[in-house]
Amino acid sequence: MLRNSPKIAISLVAGSLLFAVASCTPPSENAAAQTLETSASPASAADTAAGWSEKLIDAPYKPEDLVQTSSGAVIVSAMAENPGESGSSGSLYYMDPDTTEISPAWPSGSVDNALNNELFPECSGPLSDDETSPHGITVESVDDGTERLYVVNHGSHESIEVFDVRNDDGQPGLTWIGCVELPEGSFGNGVAADPNSDGFFVTHFLNPADMENEFKRAFAGEDTGHVLHWTPESGWTQLPESTMSTPNGIAVSEDGESLYVASWGGRKLVEIDPSSGAVLRETPVDIMPDNLRFTDSGSVLVTGQMIDSFETFFGYEFEGLQPEDRYDVLELDPESFTTAVFAEGSVAGFGNPTTALPVGDKVFVGAVAGTQILELSRQ
């Protein structure tokens, strides 16, 4: 049975403010219903940046988050234009990292429904197509070898949608297995699987009922959110000492003993205890850090936006201001908890990056503006 819950009460202004860093580029027509004809052309006349070649890939509107599955396919989370508003839906897509061809994954792709009542007994059923509004995503391999995808969704209500990732004769597919609604008043952003349970961690970004003031507080570096933990046995708990300014991307350390959290408004990366949320270490960054992705060597790539003030942030949405053409990718060393520049540059038409996903000798950079993904390749 499809869920048909009332939409979250978010006004037009507040809904737009949620991701005002999005540009005014209109969504591609019928993008969710067909394979995108992608192109990968030089991003600039020089098309190089300190050892990297740069290409822009045509992509769905606002390709905000990216993860790679064990089969090699990249899953792209393309956000709704105004998350939480009625009729404003987004989608998940598959991208072949070799050809950069992009095709629908959810809701228009090959999706089976098989609710796991043991793990998700309170889930009422899968979402209807107009309730899909994905944001942060992550994948993990569970004990039986199944690969699982977790999706922060802003559709009819705040939820985590959970899928098993299939490999159908070399083609990726998804089986929806359940959902968990977030606590009342929450607004999810990033999600990370808990390696020590059947649960997951979620960053509560800010109070969705007062977004304009919440974003003003974020640009002042004030606390607006925290980290939540869910397990089938205990349900939701808030990590009591995890309060910070607009917690965004989240990742679990390789030993499971720490969480790494990007404090967007705090302009810092924070290592916290996964039980209490107590701060273990932190390091400042110049960007407003967004999503976090591990490399094969165990370091963490992070990118984010360069936004100097709330007024600039507001201008992106309501005053026609275009984001600066630039990207900055940092590499976090978990041992020293320090960062270094991994890649940086300026590409015409590409700004406000959100995710830097390493895939072999390439890095794919998503954004919360426009309809392109930046591909960086080692020279």
User: How many other C-beta atoms can be found within 10 angstroms of the C-beta atom of residue 48?
Assistant: 15
Domain ranges of the chain: 12-378
- Residue 243, pLDDT score: 99
Distance of CA 361 to the CA centre of its chain: 22
What angle separates helix 310-318 from helix 211-219, to the nearest 10 degrees? Answer: 140
Which are the contacts of 125, defined by CB distance < 8 A and separation ≥ 6? Answer: 1, 2, 3, 113, 115
- As a whole number of angstroms, the distance between CA 117 and CA 95 comes to 31
Residue type at 260 in one-letter notation? Y
Which are the contacts of 184, defined by CB distance < 8 A and separation ≥ 6? Answer: none
Q: Torsion over CA of 304, 310, 313 and 315, rounded to 10 degrees? A: -160
- Indicate if the pLDDT at residue 20 is higher than 60: no
User: Regarding the domain delimited by 12-378, which CATH topology (the fold level of the hierarchy) does it fall under?
Assistant: Neuraminidase (2.120.10)
- Indicate if the pLDDT at residue 249 is higher than 60: yes
Q: Is pTM, for the whole model, over 0.85?
A: yes
User: How many other C-beta atoms can be found within 10 angstroms of the C-beta atom of residue 79?
Assistant: 27
Per residue in 104-135, pLDDT (tens digit) is 999 987 899 999 999 999 999 999 998 999 99
Per residue in 29-51, pLDDT (tens digit) is 333 333 444 444 444 433 555 78
Average pLDDT value for residue range 196-204: 97
Per residue in 48-84, pLDDT (tens digit) is 557 899 999 999 999 999 999 999 999 999 987 665 5
